Structure 1
Amino acid sequence: MKILEASGISKVFGGLTAVNKVDFHIDEHEIVSLIGPNGAGKTTFFNLLTGIYEPTEGRVDFLGAELKKSKPFEITKLGMARTFQNIRLFSSMTVLENVMVGQHCRTSSSIFDALLHLKRHKNEELRIRSVCEEILEFLDLTQYKDEIAVSLPYGIQRHVEIARAMASSPRLILLDEPAAGLNTNEKVEMTTLIRKIRDRGFTVLLIEHDMKLVMGISDRVAVLDYGNKIAEGKPEAIMKDERVIAAYLGKGAEPDA
């Protein structure tokens, strides 16, 4: 089943075409990677899927509905969550509090319920806490739940940001360079974490520069170059594609370099 489909999607900034008539889809429970050199249009493409940018032309369908003019918070509520290349945790909040923020789109009580300390608000907060504590346990983060999130090692912060995305109860999680800034051991842990997320029933789309991680984890890989999709297929086919080698890896480069 196709969970997301982009049809002829383009984005033009002034006279610059950042994404050019790209067709793309993700099937449910897949891990799909989007790769390409710097400036290829990958993050712009993510922003088109998540409502930060509106396509100049083309359309995006998620769970069978067109995301025309949908705002980011509306898309999150529909079941699409994302992380960012630059970690965006709340600096004054604990790990648990940061993750609980991800449940905001699933709440029903109002600010008046909170101000008046109504039972409905208290019960909902208990439910949110329970959901988020279970996510922390699943990701082996329970020991950090009362720590200020930004005080933790960088690799742990990456995991916390993914936990917050999971807390919104998404069907599709978009990860923007989840291995950026991680050391070798942390990249292995990130690979394991992404597989765990997929095995739990989520669908995953990631932008990533680490080719060893991409080729080892992906069901499919799509490649952008100057905003154009130049290749798509199984990792083993992408590794041998001459257009990919020339555009992304460079002539004669090793795929896992």
Structure 2
Amino acid sequence: MINVIGHLRTTYRRGDHHEDITSAFAPRQREVLAFLALHPEGARRETLTSLLWPEAPADRPHNALHATLSQLRRALRTATHGTLTDVIARRDDGAYALDRDQVSVDLWEANDILDATRPHHSTEHRLVAVQRLDELYLGDLAEGVNGEWIEAPRESLRRDVLDAYSALAHTIDETDPEQALDLLERARTLDRYNEVIYQEIARLQARLGHREAVTRTLALLTTTLAELGEHPSPETASLCESLQRPRSTHPSRDKTS
């Protein structure tokens, strides 16, 4: 099992328990595993070399890749006591890919779960999917991997998870405001400087009668934006002030995409 959501982790099933063998692999070997986990369709050696070894000499561009793959196989055999000799297959077209018969990847499941959160599914189906997504999304993609190649997919996954939380919150905010509030709080942790999310949280808190929580939400936003040398907009301050006053109706929510 290769986990690439959060810190990269590799485990090997030995009998009835899973053994963590992450430390058996050198950083560059882990990076190769992470790259292939993000590309289940496979990647050609030219792609791997150009992205992971951009400094490779022009006359021997693939030497580092071949050496890393050889070392990875050796580390795998040692860590699994000879049970596994390789988890990377080379296809007929020359591309390298993780062997699905030998390896499972948390990101592959997460992508399937994200599809299950789309609006064309029933609300109940989406709620179950989001619960599983919350269990899987333990942090940024491949934390500890610092190559430029990881930056775009890392941000893409974060946005996809954020959108799943936000979209479902907007779907159920009238029928289940408590659950919607919980989803928005999760969304806030993924987009800490997004003022609109704080506004939506405050509106739901007020609707639920948690007026003192509105004060805390504004204080949290103020503290968070101060990290950037900024402060809440006058609109947000005015909104929170009005939400803390007893009244029968509150300003309507501005839905954003």
TM-score normalized with structure 2 length: 0.23
- Name the structure where helix makes up a greater proportion of residues: 2
Question: TM-score w.r.t. structure 1 length?
Answer: 0.23
Greater strand share, structure number:
1
The structure, 1 or 2, with the larger RCO (C-alpha pairs under 8 Å, 6+ apart) is: 1
Larger Rg: 2
